[in-house]
Amino acid sequence: MKNKVTDFLLAVFIQGETIDLCIPTLQYASDSTWYSWFNDLHVTRFMEQGLEVNTQEKQVDFYKGLTNSNRLSLIISDKTDYIGTISLSEINLVKKTGEIALLLGSKSLQPNSDMMALEAMARLTTFAFAQMGIERISAGQHHKLIRWQQKLELIGYKIEGIKKTGFRKGREVADGTSIAITLEEYKIITSIRKALWDNVDSMRTRVSKLPENPIINNLKEFYDTKLNEYYTQIFNL
């Protein structure tokens, strides 16, 4: 199955340092490995996708529906291969909101894959704020993705709350984390370092300096203690 940049030459929509975000085509939807990423149980283990078999035909139908949807869906290139997809969905230009999501195929699971994923998130977030006029972007995370969540905090995605039993897939029931970045956070970060993503070396340095104890652990402790105690008192009034 073809999936190299030289196989399809998708047009670059947003150029990056370690990755490019490219525009999918009908040929790419029908002839590439795009569809198969969603059949990889390891890749989708923290996602709602993966309950049903995805096929090339379904991927083509999805591609054809993009024209009439409120979704911007792009293919992530590491300059050599197409390695994943990133999207901004539920775009509401009246409320100026959107939801962001990312998936990397199993071939991309290499030592620097997190940095490529982080740059992809930073590039699309920047485009949404700077070019589309979006003012709030939200996302959801599985509770086990604590270290990935910490890296997202470097580009402004703050924790807003915990969804108790918010992740349900097959027999698994787990907590989820709600995160978001607003125009305010975007402006704060870009006033400090001029861009959400300045360069890969600086971002690696920032990652190495992240606190050993993520703030989500404090929030979980609060939910399990004080919040529970508070509502126990309320329910017993």
Residue for token digits 């370690």? 18
Helix axes 113-130, 200-208, angle to 10 degrees: 110
Query: What residue ranges in the chain does DSSP mark as E strands?
Result: 12-15, 20-22, 72-77, 82-92, 97-104, 136-142, 158-169, 172-182
Helix axes 113-130, 146-153, angle to 10 degrees: 40
Q: What is the pTM of this model?
A: 0.93
Tokens of 77: 């290139």
Would you state the pLDDT for residue 68?
Answer: 84
Would you state the pLDDT for residue 107?
Answer: 59
**Position 172: which residue type?**
E
- Backbone phi, psi, residue 138, to 5°: -115, 165
Domain boundaries, the chain: 5-232
Would you state the pLDDT for residue 167?
Answer: 86
Cα first-last separation, the chain: 63
Tell me the CATH class for 5-232.
alpha beta
Residue for token digits 């997809």? 85
Within a 10 A sphere around the Cβ of 188, how many other Cβ atoms?
A: 11
Encode the chain (237 residues) as per-residue pLDDT tens digits: 667 788 888 999 999 999 999 999 999 999 999 999 999 888 888 888 777 899 999 999 999 999 888 999 999 999 999 999 999 999 999 999 999 999 998 655 666 899 999 999 999 999 999 999 999 999 998 888 999 999 999 999 999 999 988 888 888 888 899 999 999 999 999 999 999 999 999 999 999 999 999 999 999 999 999 999 999 999 999
SS3 88: strand
The number of helices, as runs of H, and strands, as runs of E, in the chain is 9, 8
SS3 143: coil
The phi-psi region of residue 50 (left if phi > 0; otherwise alpha if psi is between -120 and 50; otherwise beta) is left
SS3 87: strand
> Rounded to whole angstroms, how far apart are CA atoms 74 and 25?
10
Torsion of CA 188, 111, 137, 29, to 10 degrees: 140
